[in-house]
Amino acid sequence: MAMNVAIKQRLAMLTLAAACGLLGGCASGGFGSAESLDNIQQQLLGDMPLPQGSKISNDQSMILGGGPQWTGRIVISTPQGPTDTFTFFRDQFPRAGWTGISSIKSKTSILVFAKGDRTVTVEINESGTFQSGGSIVALTAAPKGGTAPVNLNPQPAGGMGNATPGTPLR
């Protein structure tokens, strides 16, 4: 049993290292042609289209797995402004088979999509780093639902009982 856990941990580390290696090459411009960048995008992100000219921020991204089942967060910069970037994701994700769940268009725009047993949240902000304004986009992918409830208000060991905030612990 312990051997299986060790093997699974090593396999997970190798997968993460391979994904980081691919991301590093992509972010540093190590892939010379648009065709090879598209190939890397397909391997890493599967069926999630990205705007033309997007660059992956290696130091702000964490991808676990690859292809259509990856989970984690990928941060990209795009030369398009926030409005054009919002329109791109709103139009292109459904063409790739994703269903729009909700969207908010504001200074920080958010779109939520679902496909099969996965959800993706797309957060778009103005970057100000490109001459045209540009955008910073964070895509967060995760499985839909969960197997166990998450306690958003954990109690310290021993519990606090009915203590109110600001009350000293004894």
Q: At what angle do helices 34-45 and 2-27 cross, to 10 degrees?
A: 150
What would the pLDDT profile of 45-88 be if each residue is shown by its tens digit? 778 999 988 888 888 989 888 778 889 999 999 999 999 999 99
What would the pLDDT profile of 88-131 be if each residue is shown by its tens digit? 999 999 999 999 999 999 999 999 999 999 999 999 999 865 45
What's the CATH number where 53 sits? 3.30.310
Which residues lie across from 136 on neighbouring strands?
77, 125
Higher-pLDDT residue of 40, 93: 93
- The reported pLDDT for the residue numbered 42 is 65
**Would residue 95 count as lying in a domain?**
yes
Higher-pLDDT residue of 132, 111: 111
**Would residue 45 count as lying in a domain?**
yes
* Cα Rg of the chain, angstroms: 20
**Would residue 156 count as lying in a domain?**
no
Structure tokens at 92: 């292109």
**Would residue 19 count as lying in a domain?**
yes
How many Å apart are CA 10 and CA 18, to the nearest integer? 12
DSSP string, 35-103: HHHHHHHHHHHSS----TT-EE-GGG-EEES-GGG-EEEEEEEESS-HHHHHHHHHHHHHHTTPEEEEE
27 by DSSP, 3-state: which?
Answer: helix
Q: Which domain does 12 fall in, by range?
A: 2-143
Confidence of residue 17 (pLDDT cuts 50, 70, 90): very low
Which residues lie across from 64 on neighbouring strands?
71
Look at strands 135-143 and 71-78 and give their pairing: antiparallel
**Would residue 170 count as lying in a domain?**
no
How many Å apart are CA 109 and CA 111, to the nearest integer? 7
How many Å apart are CA 69 and CA 44, to the nearest integer? 9
Specify the DSSP element, H or E, that contains 137: strand 135-143
Structure tokens at 53: 């000219």
**Would residue 31 count as lying in a domain?**
yes
Number of independent structural domains in the chain: 1
pTM beyond 0.75: the answer is no
Structure tokens at 170: 């004894």
pLDDT at residue 5 greater than cutoff 70: no
What would the pLDDT profile of 135-152 be if each residue is shown by its tens digit? 999 999 999 875 545 556
Confidence of residue 24 (pLDDT cuts 50, 70, 90): very low
- The reported pLDDT for the residue numbered 27 is 40
